[in-house]
Amino acid sequence: MLRFIVPLLLIIVPIVSISIGWVIAILPSIIFEIVLISLSIRIVQPNTVKTVEFLGKFNRILRPGFHFIIPFLEWTKNQVLYRRNFPVEVEWITNDNVTWYIWLNVIYYVEDEWNDTREGNIYKSVYNIDDPKTMMRATIDEQLRAMMVAFTHKNIFEKREEIWEVIESRLREKLSTFGYRLDSIQVRDVKLENSVMSAMNKIVETEKLKEAALNEAEANKIMQVKEAEAEKESKILLWEGMAGQRMKIAEWFKESVDMIKKTDDTLNAEKVLKFLLDSSRIETLWNIGSKDNTKLVYLNEDLEWRESKLLSWSDIMDK
């Protein structure tokens, strides 16, 4: 009923002034109404609510729209309902005395479930806690310190998802007791001390170099094996070619011997073969000796001597 007092006064005062004929009182009544309106009207914006206190005691909640309060007897407090960001920076030490730094972004809000009693979220968010940010920072810091004593710095990356889930669950539970809701926790960055980070980077770099060296050695090994296999195959092909060449030469010699024997029956195979070999040898030496700046010394198999001196091929040819 108290919320209707001001509207009633705005109506009753002008009517009473006019009905009793107090013309002089009309101007003061107008001024009174203007002052009363300016002090009693409350306009609540979207995503905002106001709690009303009558003589210091919680009375009701004003939601978005146009409202009246009783000046000097009622006072209001604001509470926003939209989501808010709260950046948090936390420092903690692991079991092996390594300092970690974490930057979080907590997104939270007040959910209006249209409960105007002391059990509602709006009442608890306004009157049960003064600074929710300090509470959230303390909760995160406390939970991290309690968990980190069981981990080394190497376990942090492995257990990161587990750590964030525990922190989020604990913070969500804590906020709900004060009428707040946790939307999400975003991990902006996680860092080690610069000296530890530098040492870890060196370890990773060393491992990468080791891996690269092993890969290079394996590649060289494969190349050497391939080269050996290729050389083996090339030698096999060369030997097969030489064998084929010898077979063709043998066939040619046989054909030549048979042809020469047909021209002279007195010649036997041995003489014909010796003749062919000598002809081939002489042709080969002739080709070598015909080159520029080439010196050729021919030694007969019988070491033919003339006047106790070794004869050169040119001397034999002259004779």
Could you tell me which residue, 35 or 297, shows the higher pLDDT? 35
**Confidence class of residue 318 from pLDDT cuts 50, 70 and 90?**
very low
Q: Which amino acid appears at position 24 of this protein?
A: I
Q: What is the pLDDT of residue 145?
A: 79
Percent of the chain residues topping a pLDDT of 70: 63
Q: What is the pLDDT of residue 158?
A: 73
Q: Which token pair is 127?
A: 């009157």
Output the CA–CA distances (angstroms, integers) from residue 72 to 3, 34, 36, 75, in the order listed.
13, 15, 10, 7
Is 221 a residue whose pLDDT tops 70?
yes
Q: What is the pLDDT of residues 180-206, one digit of tens each?
A: 999 988 888 777 766 656 665 566 667
Q: What is the pLDDT of residue 65?
A: 92
| Rounded distance between C-alpha atoms, residue 191 and residue 201, angstroms | 13
Q: What is the pLDDT of residue 282?
A: 72
Q: What is the pLDDT of residue 44?
A: 93
Look-up: residue for tokens 């609510």?
49
Q: What is the pLDDT of residue 108?
A: 95
Top mean-pLDDT range of 80-89, 93-102, 180-189, 256-265: 80-89
**Confidence class of residue 20 from pLDDT cuts 50, 70 and 90?**
low
Look-up: residue for tokens 């097969």?
240
Compute the average pLDDT of residues 68-76: 85
| Rounded distance between C-alpha atoms, residue 307 and residue 319, angstroms | 14
| Rounded distance between C-alpha atoms, residue 7 and residue 5, angstroms | 6
Could you tell me which residue, 119 or 225, shows the higher pLDDT? 119
Q: What is the pLDDT of residue 63?
A: 93
Is 126 a residue whose pLDDT tops 50?
yes
Q: What is the pLDDT of residue 238?
A: 76
Query: pTM of the prediction?
Result: 0.56
For residue 251, count CB atoms less than 10 angstroms from its CB and return exposed for 0-12, middle for 13-18, buried for 19 or more.
exposed
Q: Which token pair is 316?
A: 């034999």
Is 312 a residue whose pLDDT tops 50?
no
Strand partners, 49: 79
Is 103 a residue whose pLDDT tops 70?
yes
Q: What is the pLDDT of residue 197?
A: 60
